[in-house]
């Protein structure tokens, strides 16, 4: 069973390793560069900025992750969804996405958006299965990227709920 909690600074090395381990096999990794700077500033870019960054653990090992990045008062972007290749197809990505969507509702977001490359078939299937609809495509470097959105409806205003973590 996976345990999901909010990112902590001591998770940095494990998150970085998971990012690379999960992305390379998809063919959607161009190598590390400034496009990965957010992963070196998770607290500032995600958590302190009105979003979230979650990690999924099996025992003490981080095997999944995902984030919400605030775009506007009612819209956040799902980012950095990763599952370790040895642990894929076990529902861990679904579990992280479920928690991110619940957290988005708690934070008052009404809309979520995301992008994924056409090379990431499993991610595309996960998002479609969860009600994300394709809104367009664009070219990012050598990758064709699928843009998707999901409406969450009215927020539950669950401010009295326990925080993630």
Domains for the chain: give ranges and CATH numbers: 3-151 (3.40.630.30)
Q: pLDDT tens, 72-129?
A: 999 999 999 999 999 999 999 999 999 999 999 999 999 999 999 998 898 999 999 9
Question: What are the b/e assignments for 108-144, b being 16+ CB within 10 Å?
Answer: bbbbbbbbbbeebeebbebbeebebeeeeeeeeeebe
Torsion angle in degrees (nearest 10) through CA of 91, 94, 99, 102 = -140
Could you tell me the two tokens for 161? Answer: 């709920």
pTM (two decimals):
0.89
pLDDT band, residue 159 (cuts 50/70/90): very low
């Amino acid at each position: 069973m996976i345990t999901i909690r909010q990112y902590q600074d001591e998770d940095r090395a494990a998150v970085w390793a998971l990012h690379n381990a999960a992305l390379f096999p998809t063919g959607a990794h161009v190598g590390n560069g400034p496009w990965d700077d957010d992963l070196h500033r998770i607290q500032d870019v995600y958590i302190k900025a009105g979003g979230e960054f979650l990690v999924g653990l099996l025992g003490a090992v981080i095997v999944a992750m995902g984030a919400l990045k605030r775009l506007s008062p009612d819209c956040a972007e799902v980012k950095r969804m990763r599952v370790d290749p040895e642990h894929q197809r076990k529902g861990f990505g679904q579990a992280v996405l479920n928690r991110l969507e619940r957290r988005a509702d708690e934070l008052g977001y009404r809309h979520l958006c995301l992008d994924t490359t056409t090379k990431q078939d499993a991610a595309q299937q996960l998002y479609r299965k969860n009600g994300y609809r394709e809104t367009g495509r664009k070219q990012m470097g050598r990758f064709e990227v699928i843009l998707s959105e999901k409406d969450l409806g009215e927020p539950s205003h669950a401010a009295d709920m326990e925080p993630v973590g």
